Amino acid sequence: MDFIRKIGRNEIVKITTPVLITWYDGKSRLCGDFRAFNSYTKANRNPIPRIPHALEKLAKAKYITKMVCMKGFQNNGVKPNSMKLLRIICHVGIYEYTRMPFGIKQSRRITAKTSIK
């Protein structure tokens, strides 16, 4: 799992947010509840590009790659100083995200912005 890493036992942890999600097929996924984190972050005011604009830029592209939309947020890295704010805890340890997790207020706009570049 390159989108999350386990942190050391001796590190001081102030913020952790565990949420266990059960999918329709019975599989479980450990996620973070970032509502408190989102209340302290500034809203990203970049507009999401309109489809005609995105298609226009795509037409000029030299290379086109396929991106898995279900994991689109995880295509974006997290700055090292932000990782300590994006932690989850479970019975096997404390983890921090190294890639953009779901649930962050800015995730959707950042993902849209980087996918158009």
**Pair 73, 111: CB distance under 8 Å:** yes
**What pLDDT is stored for residue 68 in this prediction?**
53
**Pair 74, 115: CB distance under 8 Å:** no
User: What are the residue ranges spanned by the domains of the chain?
Assistant: 4-42+65-116
**pLDDT of 52 above 70:** yes
Q: How far apart are CA 53 and CA 50, in angstroms?
A: 5
Q: How would residue 95 be classed by pLDDT, with cut points 50, 70 and 90?
A: confident
Task: Please state the rounded mean pLDDT for residues 78-94.
Answer: 83
DSSP label at 40? Answer: H
